[in-house]
Amino acid sequence: MCGIVGYIGKKEAYPILIHGLKKLEYRGYDSAGVALFSDMIRVYKHKGKVADLEKYIDGKETKSMLGIGHTRWATHGVPNDVNAHPHTTEHGDIVLVHNGIIENYVTLKLFLQKRGHVFSSETDTEVLAHLIEEVRKSGENDFSSVVQMALQKVTGAYAIAVLSLHDPDMLVVAKKGSPLVVGVGEKEFYVASDPYPLAEYTKQVIYLEDGEIAVLFRDGHIEMKTDTREPKIPYIHTLDIELETLEKSGFEHFMQKEIHEQPRAVCDSLRGRLYSVEDMILNLGGIQNIEEKLLIANHYTFLGCGTSWHAGLIGKKIFEDLLRIPSRAEYASEFRYGNPIIGENEIFFGISQSGETADTLAAIQRAKEGGGTVLGICNVVGSSIARAAHAGLYTHAGPEIGVASTKAFTTQVVTMTLLGLYIGQKKKTISDDHIKKIMRGLSDIPEKIEKILIADEYIKNIAKKYKDAKNALYLGRGYGFPVALEGALKMKEISYIHAEGYPAAEMKHGPIALVDEFMPVVIIALEGPSYEKIMSNAEEIRARKGRIIAVVSEGDTRFRNIAEDCIEIPKTEDLLSPLLSVIPLQLFAYHIAVLRGCDVDRPRNLAKSVTVE
Ligand code: G6P
């Protein structure tokens, strides 16, 4: 939620900031703004997307080699020009951008108002600018110490970039709970909420840890301090991001591109890990330091939010099927504030595309505090969850920019399947035949996804029939149920059609009352253990005139008589079926949203990386 950028060096800052904000727009697009420091600090901010800001700035003075920028997902205060970042004091000498939430801002604001500060916005962020100014009055001359002292009075999460009118040669950045990356160039620094905007300028990056502050100087040197104000030598990581992965590459939307990238993403996720199917060799480097614990665990818990939670539901089923060990999938937001019983030999999986979701991060901290061992299943390398976990497996989906998650989901499922197989093989809970079957099945998945993607146009034509629906039901059983949830989520997120995912049999306990001739009902009806049962559920829907769209196995003939539309997908192992059945649902939601004229990559009110709870 919210993206921040910064630049200090010898180049023009404005185009770099705008470019960075565009790359971070998936984090929020309620308003955007920049502050440019030359002879003075000029602040330009505007409601709406970065493109609106650009239009607003067109023709205005932008000359500067030091600046900060922000794209907002509104938390405190409606999206308007005043609440847009950067924020400043009434004297305009401290200007900052912020990602996160200052939880004690009301108390701080009252205190500052009593000290004569006048506020202009409704945001929590503005408090920070005034607080820094107030601390500066105490006589401390070093600006970074002033900022750090001010931050010590703050409860909540922040990643900030601060300019001080009295310190024209420095950019101060700090973080706690929200992500912040510094890119190191030739006598210049770039700042961003994630590494993607930095990738085309530099591969050398520094990930700030919680409580740390860094002062980036115009002459190219950097001073870092830890949360206890000790000097720290920055550790420089090398980024491994291919630039074309950050572009739409001829697709109309990032989401469309990412759906079509799934064969490649799944291959990348399997690469080196599904080492030899014939010899049944699996390689999972990231788990080495907790391998023993993974093997003796008597409970597995999958934690995540949104799509990642849906992947966790599948993980739970895979683990129970392959290992016969009790497993659960919990919403991270519920787990962190619940009263969870954490077993001594319990393993927690923190599933997150971004690796920055505040609730998932807090949930895994909670698990750690309770004595649990945590394995991160993240896509973004070096992300907070990846670093907070005891061990981790990256999903290798490549950058996912579209707000609605697609390839992250399939690669999360692939990663958990590999993990389940690996543990099952070591613990001998799965026969060799079964292992080989699943391994073979996994290696065939990319090709099978490719085959489904060929039906894109066919699915688009189906979408045309249902684009004006007000509601939709998604039904599945077994492995089809989490897929139904995910299909419904995709539909809600990007097309704004109200959609519910349900276990097919549960439908009789309520949702069936909604079914009439206007209700599209998407049914995952693959060959497998629950095929006959789901057929009966489909009949029940048809008897109430519901319009059935069925995702069926290749060659299925029986559903043709019940469903208005059938989408065939290749056959695979039941346990691997979500990797295929989710694809038509992603395409269906995508086409409906496009046909309805929705902004697919930037759906209203949503943000890709939810760094507030
Ligand atoms: C947001 C995104 C979803 C995502 C969820 C969890 O709601 O819009 O697509 O599934 O966050 O994100 P994570 O990065 O933790 O997987």
pLDDT digit string, tens, across residues 76-127: 888 888 889 999 998 889 999 999 989 999 999 999 999 999 999 989 999 9
Residue 37 Cα to ligand 1 midpoint, Å, equals 35
Check pLDDT > 80 for residue 612: no
Task: Work out the average pLDDT over 355-364.
Answer: 94
* 492 within ligand 1 shell (Cβ under 6 A): no
Check pLDDT > 90 for residue 74: no
Tens digit of pLDDT for each residue in 438-474?
999 999 999 999 999 999 999 999 999 999 999 999 9
Task: Work out the average pLDDT over 477-499.
Answer: 97
Q: Which candidate, 112, 172, 122, places its Cα nearest to that of 148?
A: 172
* 610 within ligand 1 shell (Cβ under 6 A): yes
Packing angle, helices 480-495 and 306-323, rounded to 10: 170
Tens digit of pLDDT for each residue in 196-238?
899 989 999 999 999 999 999 999 999 999 988 899 999 999 9
Higher-scoring residue by pLDDT: 410, 91? 410
Residue 475 Cα to ligand 1 midpoint, Å, equals 22
* 354 within ligand 1 shell (Cβ under 6 A): yes
The answer to whether the beta carbons of residues 104 and 155 sit under 8 Å apart is: yes
| Cβ count near 418 (within 10 Å) | 22
Residues 63, 68, 70: CA angle, nearest 5 degrees: 125
Q: What is the DSSP string of 208-271?
A: PPTT-EEEEETTS-EEEE-TTS-EEPPPPEE----GGGGS-TT-SSHHHHHHHTHHHHHHHHHT
Distance CA 296, CA 316 (A): 17
Lookup result for tokens 């001829």: 250
Element (H, E) at 190: strand 189-192
**Residue among 401, 412, 413, 610 to mutate when testing ligand 1 (max atoms within 8 A of CB):** 610
How many angstroms separate the most distant Cα atoms in the chain? 81
Check pLDDT > 80 for residue 252: yes
Helix (H/G/I), strand (E/B), else coil: 334: helix
Distance CA 117, CA 475 (A): 56
Distance CA 465, CA 461 (A): 7
Task: Work out the average pLDDT over 374-396.
Answer: 94
For 396, how many CA atoms within 13 A lie in the half-sphere containing its CB? 16
Task: Work out the average pLDDT over 124-147.
Answer: 93
Which phi-psi region, left, alpha or beta, contains residue 197 (left: φ > 0; alpha: ψ -120 to 50)?
A: alpha
Q: Which residues contact 610 (CB under 8 A, 6 or more apart)?
A: 1, 305, 306, 357, 358, 359
Cα 585 from chain centroid (whole Å): 19
Please state, for a pLDDT cut of 90, what percent of the chain lies above it: 81
How does the average pLDDT of the chain come out, rounded?
94
Positions marked active-site: 2, 608
The answer to whether the beta carbons of residues 312 and 329 sit under 8 Å apart is: yes
The answer to whether the beta carbons of residues 550 and 563 sit under 8 Å apart is: yes
Hey, what amino acid is at 156? Answer: G
* 125 within ligand 1 shell (Cβ under 6 A): no
* 164 within ligand 1 shell (Cβ under 6 A): no
Helix (H/G/I), strand (E/B), else coil: 12: coil
Distance CA 207, CA 384 (A): 9
Atom of ligand 1 at shortest range from CA of 385:
15
* 310 within ligand 1 shell (Cβ under 6 A): no
Check pLDDT > 90 for residue 154: yes
The answer to whether the beta carbons of residues 294 and 321 sit under 8 Å apart is: no
**Residue among 305, 359, 612 to mutate when testing ligand 1 (max atoms within 8 A of CB):** 305
Check pLDDT > 80 for residue 243: no
Check pLDDT > 90 for residue 250: no
Check pLDDT > 90 for residue 609: no
Residues 12, 15, 602: CA angle, nearest 5 degrees: 160
Check pLDDT > 90 for residue 605: no
Confidence of residue 309 (pLDDT cuts 50, 70, 90): very high
| Closest protein CA for atom 8 of ligand 1 | 608
Read off the pTM: 0.84
Check pLDDT > 90 for residue 604: no
Q: Which residues contact 497 (CB under 8 A, 6 or more apart)?
A: 469, 470, 471, 472, 491, 592
Residue 397 Cα to ligand 1 midpoint, Å, equals 14
| Per-residue model confidence (pLDDT) at position 29 | 84
Residue 414 Cα to ligand 1 midpoint, Å, equals 18
Check pLDDT > 90 for residue 515: no
Please state, for a pLDDT cut of 70, what percent of the chain lies above it: 100
* 360 within ligand 1 shell (Cβ under 6 A): yes
Check pLDDT > 80 for residue 3: yes
